[in-house]
Amino acid sequence: MPHWLADAGDNRQFTHIKRFDPRFWTLNFPQPMTASVVTTGAAALRIDAVFYNADELAGLIWESADVWDHPLLAYETRRDYRGCRLSFRWLSSGIMPLDAIDGPTLTIEGRDAAGVSRSWYVRLWNYASGTPEDATIALDFDALDGGFLLPGEADPVWSGDIDRLFISLVPPGYTGAATALPDGTEGWVELSEIAATGPESTLSIGDTMVPEHGLRIATGYDDAYNQAPARLLRNILHLGYRELINHYVGMSHYYRLRHYSSGNLLYTVSGGNLNAPCERWHRDFAARVKALGYDLIFSVSYELLDSVAFGSRKQRAENGDFALTGWEPPSALLSPASAPAVDQIARTAESFALILQDAGLPVKIQIGEPWWWIMLDGTDRICLYDAAAKAAFGANLVSIPSIRGAMTPAQIVMLDQAGDLLAGSTQTIADRVRAVAPGAELLLLVYLPTVLDAEAPEAKRANVPTGWANPAFDILQLEDYDWVTGGNRAATARGVAAMEARLGYPVDRQHYFSGFVLNAADRAQWAEIDAAAEAARRRGVADTFVWALPQAVRDGYTHFDSKEGDVQAFDDVLFPLALGRDAMAAPAFSTAIVTTASGAEHRNSDWSDARMRYDAGPGVRAEEDVGTLIAFFRARRGAARGFRFRDPFDHSSAGMTDTPGPSDQFVGTGDGQAARFALVKRYGQEADQQVRPITRPVSGSVRVMVDGAEQASGWLFDAGEIVFDTPPAAGAEIRAGYLFDVPVRFAEDRLEISRATFRAGEAVSVPLIEIRDV
C-alpha cells in the first residue's frame, strides 16, 4: 500500500524557527481544572484556564525534544541553551501575580555540569520590569539563578543540558489544599513580543510537504487540548490531508462544572455550555481551518467523563452497575432515555454549531457512536436499566441477562423499543442543531464491531434502530478499527453490507474511518489501516478518514496516493455497451530482447500478465453514437479517469464468452484461517499457465464452490476477492465462476472525429488501454 512509517532522522527537508516559537508550547494540568493555549500572533500566545480547587496548577511547557510533531515535521532536539536569551511581555488576570509567594515560576529540568539530574526554580518576578500583572521579562540562560530571593538564595542554573522548561500558573486562591474555589474561577495569561536571541536561538525544523492525497484526517480534543491549533493544522497540512477534518470535541475537557451540596463537582450549563478555555481553543481552530480552505465536522457523543456525570443520566446494567468504558480515567455512557442527558448533548452540539457559523464554515455536526452500552467484563450485559429507561419501557421491561445468543419474543420487543428511544434521542439532537443552524449537515457515526457482533445478532435492534434509516441523516459514517487492526477484512465487508441493507444509505453518502493504533508497539498495524482506507475509497465512499492524528504523528504514518492506480481516478461505470461490442482487442506483453553478435537472442518478459489494448472505434456507426462517445469521453476528462469495459472476445470465466458456472476457475485452497481469495482467470496448460487477476466482476454474476458444493451464501465479494464468513477448512478447494469487465482508460486526452470523414465511411479510432489496479 502507498504509505510509509517515518522515523526520527528520516527527514531531508528543513527550514528554521526561533526557539520558543509560540506554536510549539504545550500545557499540562490536572483534572478537574482545564486550560488551553492558542497563538495570537507570530510572537504571541494566550493561555486560558478555569480552576475549581485551591490545589490546581497549570504548566506552560517548552520541551527540548519534540514529541508532539510528525517525525518529518519535528524541530531538532537541542538541550544546550547556553548562548540563548528569551524575553517576552507578560499580561495576566485571574492568575497568581508575579510578585506573590506562589507566583509564576520557571522550573528548569535537566542535568548539572556533572551530569546529575536536577531541577532549578526561577522566580520570574526576579527578572521582570513592570507590575505583577504587566511586565517585561528577560532571561539570559548564561546568567540565570534559581531561588526566591536574590542574591541571597541564588541557585545558579547550568543551561548546558536541559530537558524542559515549565512556567507554573495557579489561581489567586491557591493554597495547595484540595478545598473548593468559587465555581469556574477563570484566569488568563498573554505572552507577547516573544523573542529568542543569541547564537543558540535558532532551531532547524522539518519542512516536508507530502503531496496532497485523497484521505481525510480525524482529530480529538481529548488528545490535543494541550497543543495550539496552529501546531495541529501544520501537521495536517504538511501531511497531505485536505478538504475536510473530523474533530471529536471529546468527553473530558469541554464542559463547565460546579460544586454541588453533596460535595461532588459535576457537569453544569450555568454560565454557558462550554468552558472558556475550550471555547477559545475551538474558535481559534475553526478560524484557522477556514483560512486554510478546509471544512470542519465537530463531533459530539453520548460519552462523558464518569466523575462529572450525574448518576441519574448514566446508563445502567440490570444490577445497577453504571455503563463504564475501559478507558482510564473511566468514561460513562449517557442514557438516550434521559431527557436531561439528551438536552446536555444537544446543548453541546448547538454551541459547536454556532462556532462553525461564526467562523464562516458550513455547519457539520457528527453524533458520535450513540449506543446502549454492552458491558466489557465478559457478562455481555446491555445497559438498558437506568431509571429513565425503565420508566419508558413500562410493561415491556424484562430481564436480558446477556445480549448474546437468541432472544425471547418479549426481549425482542424491549430491544426494539430501546432502538426507538435511541433513534428519538439522536433525532432530538439533530433537530436542535438545525434550529440554530438551518441547513446544517448531520452525520451519524456507528462503530460496527459493537453494534454488529455476530455473537449478539439481536443487539442491532437496540443499537442500529430502523429510525436511523435513510434519509434521517445526511451522512452515515462507519468505523471498525478492531476488525481492521485484527486483519479481519471479511468482517468489515460483511458489516458494511449489513449496514447498507439495514439503513439504506448509498455509498456516496457514507464516510469511512480507518484505524487506529492504540499502542506504539503495534505500529505495524498501519499496513492494515492503510489497506482498509484504500478499500473504502475503491468502494466509492464520499470521504475516508484516518483515525486519528495523534497516533499517525506518533508512529510517523505517511500516506501517498499511487499514480496510475489512484483509486479516486476510477469511475465504476461501463463503457457504452453498444459501442464496445464491435471493438478490436489486442493483448500485449512487454519483452526485452537482446540480440548477440552471433545472432542468438536473450529474451526477458517484463510482465507476468498481458496488458489489454482496445479500439472501440468500429462500434461508432451513427451520429447518435458519436454524441454518446463524446459525452462519455468528456465525463471521464479524457485519460484522467478509468472505467469498466466489456471485452467482446473475453468476458467470462467459462471459455471466453460462455455462461459461467461455479466450478470454472480454481482460486485457492483453504488452510482453516484465510477467508479471502482473489478471483483469477487461468489461460493455457498448467505447465505454462498464465494467471490473470480479475478485479471487476459483473455484479450478481459471481458463483462460488467449495469442495464441489456451490455456496449460495456465507460469502461476499469485496475489492477483487471472495470473502468468506467462515474460513474454508484446510485442504478445501475453492473455485468460482463469473462475468467480468476490464478496468481501462482512454489512451489519449484527445478524441478526433470529423463529420466529413465519418460520413465518408472512415472508421473512428477510439484507443483504450487497460489499467493495472492490482
Percent of the chain past pLDDT 90, that is, above it, reads: 73
Least confident of 125-129, 523-527, 764-768: 764-768
| Cell numbers placing 146 | 534559581
Burial annotation 597-630 (CB, 10 A radius, 16+ → b, else e): eeeeeeeeeeeebeebbbbbbbbbeeeebbebbe
**Angle of helix 276-292 versus helix 339-358 axis, rounded to 10:** 40
Residue 567 predicted with pLDDT over 50 = no
Residue 705 predicted with pLDDT over 60 = yes
User: What's the pLDDT tens digit per position in 67-92?
Assistant: 999 999 999 999 999 999 999 999 99
Q: What dihedral angle (degrees, nearest 10) is formed by the CA atoms of 496, 502, 503, 509? A: 30
Task: State the pLDDT at residue 750.
Answer: 85
- Strand partners of residue 723: 676, 716
What is the pLDDT of the chain when averaged over all its residues?
A: 91
Residue 711 predicted with pLDDT over 80 = yes
DSSP state for residue 248 in the 8-state scheme: E
H-helix or E-strand containing 128? Answer: strand 128-131
Residue 225 predicted with pLDDT over 70 = yes
C-alpha torsion sign, points 457, 459, 460, 465? positive
Least confident of 233-242, 290-299, 561-570: 561-570
- Strand partners of residue 682: 691
> What is the average pLDDT across 118-141?
98
- Determine the Cα–Cα distance for residues 123 and 98; give it in Å rounded to an integer: 8
Binned at pLDDT 50, 70 and 90, residue 599 comes out as low
Residue 658 predicted with pLDDT over 70 = yes
Task: State the pLDDT at residue 589.
Answer: 53
| Cell numbers placing 306 | 464518569
Residue 579 predicted with pLDDT over 70 = no
User: Which residues have CB under 8 Å from 447's CB, separation 6+?
Assistant: 369, 371, 479, 480
> What is the average pLDDT across 262-279?
92
Task: State the pLDDT at residue 602.
Answer: 52
- Determine the Cα–Cα distance for residues 222 and 244; give it in Å rounded to an integer: 20
- Determine the Cα–Cα distance for residues 55 and 131; give it in Å rounded to an integer: 25
Binned at pLDDT 50, 70 and 90, residue 343 comes out as very high
Would you give the distance in Å from CA 575 to the centre of its chain? 35
Burial annotation 677-706 (CB, 10 A radius, 16+ → b, else e): bbbbbeeeeeeeeeebebbbbbeebbbbbb
Task: State the pLDDT at residue 699.
Answer: 83
Task: State the pLDDT at residue 327.
Answer: 84
> What is the average pLDDT across 300-315?
97
Task: State the pLDDT at residue 607.
Answer: 46
- Determine the Cα–Cα distance for residues 87 and 90; give it in Å rounded to an integer: 10
The residue among 291, 299, 353, 288 whose CA lies nearest residue 548 is: 299
| Residues 293, 294, 296: CA angle, nearest 5 degrees | 145
| Cell numbers placing 16 | 528554521
Binned at pLDDT 50, 70 and 90, residue 467 comes out as very high
- pTM beyond 0.75: the answer is yes
Residue 258 predicted with pLDDT over 80 = yes
3-state secondary structure 643-704: EEECCCCCCECCCCCCCCCCCCEEEEECCCCCCEEECEEEECCHHHCEEEECCCECCCCCEE
Contact 543, 244 (CB under 8 A): yes
Task: State the pLDDT at residue 538.
Answer: 86
- Looking at residue 526, its amino acid is W
Task: State the pLDDT at residue 713.
Answer: 86
> What is the average pLDDT across 474-486?
93
DSSP state for residue 363 in the 8-state scheme: P
> What is the average pLDDT across 103-126?
98
Contact 523, 491 (CB under 8 A): no
Residue 606 predicted with pLDDT over 50 = no
> What is the average pLDDT across 449-468?
94
Binned at pLDDT 50, 70 and 90, residue 580 comes out as low
Residue 205 predicted with pLDDT over 70 = yes
- Strand partners of residue 53: 180
> What is the average pLDDT across 557-568?
66
Strand 543-547 to 216-220 pairing: parallel
Least confident of 27-41, 505-519, 573-587: 573-587
